[in-house]
Structure 1
Amino acid sequence: MDQKAQEKYFATYDAILRKWPVPSEELDVETRFGPTRVRRSGTGRGTPVVLLHGVMGTSLSWYPFVAELAERHTVYAVDTIGEPGRSVQTRPVQSGQDQADWLADVLAGLSHEKFHLVGISRGAWLALDLATRSGDRISSVIAIEPGGFGTIGLRFVLWSFGQMFRWLLPAPILRRIFSGDPYARRTLAPLVIRGLKYKPHFPPQYVFTDDELRAIDVPVHFVLAERNGVFDARELAARVEALNPRLRAEIVPKTTHALPLEEPELTISRILTLVADDTR
């Protein structure tokens, strides 16, 4: 990304940041791969919640959800290293182990004993990948439309680009063609589109093996879209529940990979319900 494109990108980033609905503190957490920008909101009791975004989304993709989450929990929203955002990569991330080490460094730098990890798409893959290697700092994982369970083909890529550019349509039209909040889509679309000029610096997602899923020793709740586009949701739900009693899955009818934007209230409800046990 050249300087001019970078300036436009961060101008858009900062404009969306001003829409962050609750007071927050910006942290730069040192990791072995570079400083990682983390936004802390809320002061609730219990185990904190770490929010991990999908590809190109940045921590700001959580702005439609954070207000209700921060009412009850301390919430950390992360800009994943190697992607557009405010994190600064200083060392190559070359493997899944590197990605896990980066996330482990972030959690260590936040100075809590345990965390609930909540991820969307690639963010869910990051959380699950760490959980397959070590659950030391993980209280639970909520994996919303996770990567790592199928090959991303041309059809899905074309669908993704089509979604992205349709988000620029006027809100009244968006309201007719999409479920959920049209203003969230219109707000986030310019950031994602301007981020396309950024060359990602992370290894490709690998597909989880049965042995890796069996190795997870923390509770995981999968939230899967019925019309996923990458994997068969029913097959995946049956697979993970058969492999490991700690893994549970639900399928949300009539949703796509954009499930959080299509069903924002359900997304918030599931997160709050699943992380509520230790706040009592």
Structure 2
Amino acid sequence: MVGKFVDQKAQERYFATYEAIRRKWPVPSEELDVETRFGATRVRRSGTGTPIVLLHGAMGTSLSWYPFVADLAARHTVYAVDMIGEPGRSVQTRPMESTDDEADWLADVLAGLGHEKVHLVGISRGAFLALNLATRRPAGVAGVLAFEPGGFGIAFLRFVLWSIGELSRWWLPTAILRRVSAGDPSVRHTMRPLVFRGMKFKIQMAPLHVFTDDELRSIDVPTYFILGERSLIKAPELAARVESLVPNVRTEIVPGATHALNLEELELTNARILAFAGEDHAGLPD
């Protein structure tokens, strides 16, 4: 099975919303369809400079980066990816059944972009995919910046309950949402129809893998973990674990932040990406 919408009407409604949000992309962009062994992957390119590849969280699509891209594209070539197997403009033709498949897919995407090395920036599942590539197919990876990454034993039920609570807030009026959730309410309101209409897409992806100690030890590129103090996992324990295993790693725990860290801390998110993609990682907290 490959990822697909439940019917034509659901697909049409989704892509109408997708196009409406696409028009909010604040800088010039070019849309690429990168061929991979699992199907054509849609990538949105903006800016010039040292390349950054952005990997969204579940159901987010490349468009979830629209609040960040103006600052990033002013200094870098930014590639925002629609992950294959999820709703978006990528077209899956073959199932991804394992973490090796996921690494092969992302390696194919990077090869298609044509750079010797890129910085990978991921949120949640996107961060998992970036770290997974660094453990399995690291040749094209200059570094990994992982915001609230998956792959560290988050209980499924706990994630589902958190997601229900988070998404339920997206229906609140702006004034109330501003009081109960950090960040710009307009971002959640903009992305809300896309996420909810994407629920009529049958997702196809490999089961989420939990990283072993040996896999983490194998990461040999600069790596930066940014975790929320109120993460779905115990952030201090995760930070201690990766600091003891990953050779060239830094960690940061953001006070008060949850798994929705990127929505709650837009300025911090952009600042950390820009600092990480710099030549010497200047500006990152020690």
TM-score range relative to shorter protein: over 0.9
The residue aligned with 2:257 is 255
1:184 is aligned with what amino acid? V
Preserved CA contact (<8 Å) 1:65 1:264: yes
Q: CA deviation at 1:172?
A: 1.4
Aligned length: 277
**Which range moves more in the overlay, 106-115 or 131-140?**
131-140
Listed as ranges, the gaps of 5+ residues in structure 1 are: none
Alpha-carbon displacement from aligned partner over 1:29-50 (angstroms, at most 9, x marks no partner): 000100000000001x2x3000
Structure 1 range deviating more: 198-207 or 161-170: 161-170
In the other structure, the counterpart of 1:111 is 114
Within a 5 Å distance, the mapping from 1:21-36 to structure 2 comes to 21-36=26-41
Q: Superposed, which structure 2 residues align to 1:130-145 within 5 Å?
A: 130-145=133-148
Asked if 2 retains the 8 angstrom alpha-carbon contact of 1:181 and 1:262, the reply is: yes
Q: Residue 262 of structure 2 aligns to which amino acid in structure 1?
A: P
- The yes-or-no answer on 1:100 pairing with 2:103 is yes
Q: 2:238 aligns to what? A: 236
- TM-score, normalised to structure 1's length? 0.96
Per-residue deviation, residues 99-158 of structure 1 (Å, max 9, x unmatched):
000000000000011000000000000000000013210110000000000133323212
Partner of 1:149: 152
- Offset, 1:163: 1.2
2:3 is matched with none
Tell me which amino acid in the other structure corresponds to 1:270: R
- Secondary structure of 2:122's counterpart equals strand
Partner secondary structure for residue 74 of structure 1 = strand
Q: Equivalent residue for 1:125?
A: 128
Select 1:246's aligned residue among 240, 245, 248: 248
**For 1:214, which of 191, 213, 217 is the aligned residue?**
217
Contact 1:116 1:140 in 2 (8 A): yes
- Pair 24,279 (structure 1): closer, same or farther in 2 beyond 3 Å: farther
Supply the AA of the counterpart residue of 1:136.
A
In 1: Cα distance, 2:142 partner to 2:271 partner: 18
Residues 164 and 193 in structure 1, CA contact (< 8 A), matched pair in contact too: no
**Any conservation in 1 of the 2:55–2:62 contact (CA below 8 Å)?**
yes
* Alpha-carbon distance between aligned partners in 2 of 1:95 and 1:135, rounded to the nearest angstrom: 17
Is it true that 1:84 corresponds to 2:87 in the alignment?
Answer: yes
Structure 2, unaligned stretches of length 5 or more?
A: 1-5
2:275 alignment counterpart = 273
1:5 counterpart (1, 7, 10): 10
Following TM superposition, by how much is the alpha carbon of 1:278 offset from its aligned partner in structure 2, in angstroms? 6.6
Would the alpha carbon gap of residues 93 and 267 (structure 1) be closer, same or farther in structure 2, given more than 3 Å must change? Answer: same
Q: Which amino acid aligns with 2:176?
A: I
TM-score, normalised with respect to structure 2: 0.94
Give the match's secondary structure for 2:195: helix
Identity across the alignment (%): 70
Answer yes or no: is the 8 Å Cα contact 1:52–1:119 preserved in 2: yes
| Bigger fraction of residues in strand | 2
Displacement after TM superposition at 1:279 (Å):
10
- Runs ≥4 residues deviating over 2 A: none
Kept in 1, the 8 Å contact 2:107–2:137? The answer is no
- State the Cα deviation string for residues 14-62 of structure 1 (Å, max 9, x = none): 110000011000000000100000000001x2x3000000111101111
Asked if 1 retains the 8 angstrom alpha-carbon contact of 2:229 and 2:254, the reply is yes
**What's the offset of the Cα at 1:176?**
1.2
- Partners of 1:244 and 1:31 in 2: CA distance: 29
CA deviation after TM superposition for structure 1 residue 165, in Å: 2.6
Asked whether the equivalents of residues 52 and 59 of structure 1 are also in contact (C-alpha less than 8 Å), the reply is yes
2:11 alignment partner AA:
Q
1:41 is aligned to: 46
